[in-house]
Structures are given as C-alpha cells and as structure tokens.
Chain A
Amino acid sequence: MDRSQLLRGTLDAATLAVVTEQDGYGYDVLRRLRAAGLSDVGDASVYGTLRRLYKAGALTSYVMPSDEGPHRRYYGITDLGRDQLVEARAAWLEFSRAMTSLLQSKAEVGL
C-alpha cells in the first residue's frame, strides 16, 4: 500500500507529536519526522502542515535570529494543539488496534 496515502491522514498528529517533544523550525521538524521513520514524508507537506496548524491555533510561532543563515521560525505547541494531539492519539490507538487485529487474522487465514 502507498505509504504516502497513510501519511496524509496522520501527518497532523505526527507533526504535533514532534513539536510537543521540543519546539522546532520547519526543516528541523522535517528531519525529526524522517528520523522517526517517516522517511518518505514530503518537504512541502510538512511546511504546509506547520502553517495550517499554526493558523488554526494548534501551534504558536516565534522567530529566532541565527548567526549563520536566515532567521528561523520556530513552532511550539499550544493548549489547543495539545488537546488535538490527545484526541488524535486516542483515535489512532483505537484505529491501529482494530487494523492490527484485522490484518493479522486475515493474514493467518490467508496462510
């Protein structure tokens, strides 16, 4: 199955989770998502998602001056974002449990 399709519905939760650990700027969030195993997450998807979550009030943002290179816009989680993450986590756990049991039993039948 195309992993990018799976990602599409879960990128919000993944981004919120990464930012909750520690504030991060665009490229930094992207790197941490990839390091966590979401290797084929798209650059543009992450930047767009950060922007959307920020506009929706789930993230806050501030600019940090940088000695080398341009200033960086950091994103941090807000209370709203934290609530959203809690909800997403519960939904995901329930969903993944269901899928896991479904796919495992199907696989066993197939075998």
Chain B
Amino acid sequence: MSSKPSIPGEVEEYVAAVRRALTDLPRAEQDDLLAEVEASLLEATEEGAGPIGARLGAPEQFAAELRAAAGLHEPAPPVGRESDLNRRLRAARGRALAHPAVTALRRLGQELAPIWWVLRAYLAVGAIACALGSAWSSRLPIVPRFGSAETGLTAIGVAVVVSVWLGLELRRHGSPFPRVAVIVNMALLLAAIPVVAQVTDTSSSYQSLLARTNAAEQQLYSGLIYQGVEVDNIYPYSRDGRLLHDVLLYDTTGRALDLPAFHGLDLNRRYVSNGHLELFNSFPIRYYEPGTRLVVRPNAAPYVKVRPVLTPRLPTTKGK
C-alpha cells in the first residue's frame, strides 16, 4: 500500500488503466481495491509470473471482474441506446478525470472553494439588488443600497456566513441534490455578468461625477457656471422687459462676477473700464464687428420672451 519501493512501469500502467475503468466509484473504494491489486501484481511480477497483460487480460476486463466479484454496481447505465460517440466521450471523460493533472486541479479547486463561497454570497446579494432595481452606493460602488449602504453591507455579511456554512455542511455530508447544487452555482456564476456591469457602471458614473465636479470647481476660478454648464454671457432685462447694457454683477460677498476671456484675449470683445481697470463683470458682453470698433447689433439677445414684472416697484434709494 504505502512505502512503495519501486513499482515496475508495467504494474503501474496496468493499475492506472484499471483505475480508469473504476472512476465512477468513490475514491476510497478505488484506493482500497487498487491497493490490493497493486500489491498482488507486484508480488506476482517478482515471482516471475510473466507479462501482466497475458496473465490477466485487458485492464477493462479485469476491472469488470473485480467489480462484479466485489458486488459493486456497474458504471452508470447508459440512457437508451448510447451512440458510439457518446461511449467514446464517456470513456474520454473517465480517462481525463483519472489524469493526475486533473486530479491535482480538482484538489486545488476543493481547497479554493471557500473563496467561491464568499464570492457567490456577494453575487447572490448583487443579483437580488439588480433584479429589484436597487440603487448602488456611489462611494462604495460594489455595495448595493437596500435603503442604505449599511443595510447592503449587512446583507452581504449575512449571505457570506450562510454560504460558507452551507458549503461546509455540503462538503461534510454531501449534497442531497448534487444537480441542484451545480445549477445554483452556475446561475450565481452567470449573475456575475449583470452585477459586474452594475458595479462598473456605478463606479464609472461616480468617477465621471467627480471629474465633472472637479472641472466645475476649476472653472469657477476663471468663469461662470450655471447648473454645471459654462455661462458665456448674461442678458439682464429691466422690469418692463427692456434689454439693459453694461450691468455690473456682484455676489453676496461682493465678488465681481467676472467673465474674463478664457482663451487668451479676445480682440473683438468690447471691454468696459472704470477708467483704471477693465471690468469683466459687465453684461451683456458685446462683440465688435471684426476689424472695427463697432457693435453692429447692440440689442442682440437670445430668443426669449421676457414677461414684464407686475409686482409694484420697490422704493428707489436716494443717492448712489
């Protein structure tokens, strides 16, 4: 069984071939049966019993005899009339599953399964959020909001605990419905598509919101922004609907609402001055006809129908 000194290749090959014919049996059953076979084959070989194949026949035949004598069920009976292709595929699958690389991979998969348990819990919560059309947290784009991001985080936490518990239980006792387990896991894997799409979308829209906000903040230093959009001119009207000229605008803190030339000095812009300084908060901004110092249409304005103010006038202040 263990502490194999050196197993002749012939024996090793034969035992491997027998194992391939028994892959449908539980692993422990295979190991016990084959340990017996291997030990006996070694002893027979040492006694010089001749080539294994000649003595024992084909490994598949040997496996069938072993199985029958041990009272073990036959490999899963084919449903209906199995085509030759199906049989070959089944045999290939058996061989592939018995391959050492595949076995190693399956073992690795088992070891990594807990990572999937955590991931599938998250996917389940994400899928529910997608199905319900819930909003997703913008600061933590991977967290769906069920009312709040905290609720979302709690839901994920609970789902992880349940999923890991379920995984451990099923690993310990085996799944009563293995097919259902496979289908549910596959469905959760597919749920990754909408969830990842949602997360990417949320995160990129948050990024672009940040970018827009940053851009807007920067532009505040060099111009005017109204509802996130650059304002390139302002047209003030009097209460009776007449377009006013050279109106100076200030905000609450006394800052001039300057609209300087953004892209270098605009040669055609009509700058107004208080005699010392050029004023950039004078509206509407007017433009000269190129090459002249003449504003051709001083009353040009956007197409707006200005309704006159009917509320009584405020008392005018005397003096300045």
Residues of A near any B CB (own CB < 8 A) = 11, 25-27, 30, 42-52, 55, 63, 68-73
Contact = CB atoms under 8 A, between A and B. Distances in A.
B2 A47 contact: no
14 contacts: A25-B39, A43-B37, A43-B44, A47-B37, A48-B68, A48-B69, A48-B72, A49-B70, A50-B36, A51-B36, A68-B5, A69-B42, A70-B39, A72-B39
B36 A70 contact: no
B1 interface: yes
Given A48-B66, A68-B5, 7 more contacts: A25-B39, A26-B36, A69-B42, A69-B43, A69-B46, A72-B39, A73-B1
B71 A73 contact: no
B111 interface: no
A49 B72 CA distance: 11
Interface residues of B, number: 29
B67 A48 contact: yes
B199 interface: no
Contacts, number: 85
Contact of A45 (B37, B38, B55, B65): B65
Top 4 nearest A-B pairs (CB, nearest first) are A48-B69, A48-B70, A44-B65, A27-B40
Given A45-B65, A63-B1, A26 B70 contact: no
Given A43-B56, A47-B69, A52-B69, A70 B33 contact: no
Interface string B1-25: 1111100000000000000000000
